[in-house]
Amino acid sequence: MTESTDWPLWEVFVRSRRGLSHTHAGSLHAPDAEMALRNARDLYTRRNEGVSLWVVPSAAITASSPDEKDSFFEPAGDKPYRHPTFYEIPEGVKHL
């Protein structure tokens, strides 16, 4: 007997309105991409939550490791000059 866990896991991304990015909504099991899309429609857009859907095999996603979280993102940590608030501008200067 075929059990549902034999079906691959898919990550579902929903674009809620035109002009917005697809956002991760959740996951589901389905035997193939087409069924994954249909299941995603029934599961994540029952109330017009989306105008476009992506389904991505979960196994195709490469994720950064939570254990390396600090060292992996560390290069950005000491560069406050990348933010506009780093700079001191005299009072009264406009449009800057």
Partner 1 sequence: METVTAQDRTTAFDAAVAADERIEPRDWMPDAYRATLVRQIAQHAHSEIIGMQPEANWITRAPSLRRKAILIAKVQDEAGHGLYLYSAAETLGTGRDELLDKLHSGRQKYSSIFNYPTLTWADVGAIGWLVDGAAITNQVPLCRCSYGPYARAMVRICKEESFHQRQGYESLLALSRGTPEQHEMAQDAVNRWWWPSLMMFGPPDDESAHSAQSMAWKIKRHSNDELRQRFVDICVPQAETLGLTLPDPELKWNEDRGHHDFGPIDWTEFREVLKGNGPCNEQRITQRKRAHDEGAWVREAAAAYAAKHDTARHTAQAGAAPAAATAPLHGEATA
By the 10 Å C-beta count (0-12 exposed, 13-18 middle, 19+ buried), 7 is classed as middle
Residue selected from 20, 23, 33, 74 as contacting partner 1 according to rule CB under 8 A:
33
What one-character DSSP code corresponds to residue 53? E
| Residue 10 to residue 59: CA distance in whole angstroms | 8
Q: Which stretch binds partner 1 (CB under 8 A): 14-22, 52-60, 78-86, 88-96?
A: 52-60
With CB under 8 A, what is the number of residues at the site for partner 1? 37
Q: Is there binding between residue 57 and partner 1 (CB under 8 A)? A: yes
- What are 15's strand-pairing partners? 22, 52
Considering only residues 61 through 80, tell me which ones interact with partner 1, judged by CB under 8 A.
61-63, 65-68, 71
3-state helix, strand, coil split of the chain in percent (to 5) is 35, 20, 40
From candidates 18, 21, 48, 60, binder to partner 1 by CB under 8 A: 60
Choose the binding region for partner 1 from 5-13, 15-23, 73-81, 87-95 (rule: CB under 8 A): 5-13
